[in-house]
Structure 1
């Protein structure tokens, strides 16, 4: 196995999603409480990265052995188990190793904060595994967006806040919702592009249940709700007003990117450009939150 194949098994380019949420939760903690620890920040960042990489490795493994990923319906170069004959056992071993490393870091972080962190971290790892693994994979159900958005969004954001502050408040939970909705949107776009292949594989995703036309309204709703909630948080003084101008720019950019996706359509052939657009949309929102909170902390 080459280094490039390893990166593709764990889809390293997609880790920007979890790392952005982690960074936003950490910066919000700094803005909200003034507390910071570089050691804790780095350990938490590595733990998040390892869990996310391991989860994607499990996804690669189980999608291959279940037949969801095959040469007929999957055109993505990242699927090296399909297109480059990499052993699925290699993907499984990589995932188990990454989860073990994350577990070790989790124990160290728990000793510095609270042993309840083990419970929360363990729950994240269980959801990461069962997303595509086990007898009833979450990704095959209509609840994929809820679990992916919830754990990669709200849970990760509040855990990132907690390890730095040793507490969680309703403001931190509320501040995580815009990112949670956009993460759900990323998965919805992915599932909309994969709709035909997923249906053949027997999946019952939200997109399949809604149908192609109604799924577009789901995508619109997730985007609109994310920005509406973010501006409400500014009005309630949960987010600093400094994020407002940045969010306006991000919202305009996001609408244009989404319009481009609608014009292009959602299919296996357009999946690459669509996932690139929705990822940029998420990063624009995350950057607005991070920069706004950081500026507010510095000039306070």
Structure 2
């Protein structure tokens, strides 16, 4: 397998959907808690990236194995296994290697932190694998948007914060004499969830846009996604509403002073995002307008990262 084929197999361009929540959590940890542990940052980044590539490779492999329709944009051009005529054994070996890297670095991160990281990591790995694998994969059900949004938008962000503040009683999990004790700082965890909502809805909408564009082919290939159940028109309305929820959430965060006032600037991105919503609504085509959902996600969330980073840097010089 060539390096170019590998990058296509793992769809490296889509990794921004996991890296952005990771960076958002990292800078929020610096802003709110003043904590940053470089070694934990690098270890989690390697595990996260390796596992994200694993799940994408599994998804492409399962799509290749279960495809009923052998022609169309999504089959010949999108799937690297078909496009580059990759051997199944090579693809499976790549999946096992990437998964092993993710597990090893996840264990190292657990040893450097605590059992909470292990518990969340195991659940996340299971969801990631069964998103595409198993008798009824999550991606072939009307739950793909929910799971991808929550686990990539919230869980990744939460972990990227927790690895720096695991000793601050945000969540503690102990096992002693056969007794499991779990304590959660409900207020702080809820605050982190509020911070994650723009990432949650942005990622959910990337999945929703993909399913809107592919609904006809998905039905042929036995993928009964959310769009199949609610219809294309209602899905397009949901697509718009989710972005509105994201911007309302940012306004609430500013009102509650959970984020720096500088994030007022993020609200200005609503102008181009709203325009992109209209363009996608009028022409939801995979090869032409799907990319707008990715651009919207980047505008909403990368702008937050940049502004929080600037505020943190400015505070550091004061």
TM-score range, shorter chain: over 0.9
Kept in 1, the 8 Å contact 2:213–2:290? The answer is no
Kept in 2, the 8 Å contact 1:60–1:91? The answer is no
5 Å-filtered alignment, 1:141-220, equals: 141-166=141-166, 167=168, 168=170, 169=188, 170-220=190-240
Identify the residue that residue 40 of structure 1 maps to in structure 2. 40
Kept in 2, the 8 Å contact 1:61–1:91? The answer is yes
Partners of 1:259 and 1:30 in 2: CA distance: 36
1:67 aligned onto 2:67: yes
5 Å-filtered alignment, 1:29-178, equals: 29-67=29-67, 70-72=70-72, 74=74, 77-166=77-166, 167=168, 168=170, 169=188, 170-178=190-198
Unaligned runs of 5+ in 2: 171-187
SS at structure 2 position matched to 1:202:
coil
Kept in 2, the 8 Å contact 1:242–1:295? The answer is no
Unaligned runs of 5+ in 1: none
Shift of 1:225: 0.8
Among 256, 265, 273, the alignment partner of 2:288 is: 273
Q: Which has the larger radius of gyration?
A: 2
Shift of 1:72: 3.7
Identify the residue that residue 297 of structure 1 maps to in structure 2. 312
Among 271, 286, 290, the alignment partner of 1:252 is: 271
Partners of 1:124 and 1:184 in 2: CA distance: 16
Cα distance 1:101–1:50, how it changes in 2: closer, same or farther (>3 A)?
same
SS at structure 1 position matched to 2:6:
helix
Q: Give the CA RMSD over aligned residues.
A: 1.6
What TM-score, normalized to structure 2? 0.88
Query: Which aligned segments of 4 or more residues in structure 1 are displaced greater than 4 angstroms?
Result: none
The worse-fitting range, judged by mean Cα deviation, of 52-61 and 160-169 is 160-169
Shift of 1:235: 0.8
Partners of 1:42 and 1:251 in 2: CA distance: 33
The worse-fitting range, judged by mean Cα deviation, of 131-140 and 107-116 is 107-116
SS at structure 2 position matched to 1:239:
coil
Q: Deviations over 1:192-225 (max 9, x none)?
A: 0010011112222111111111111010111111
What TM-score, normalized to structure 1? 0.93
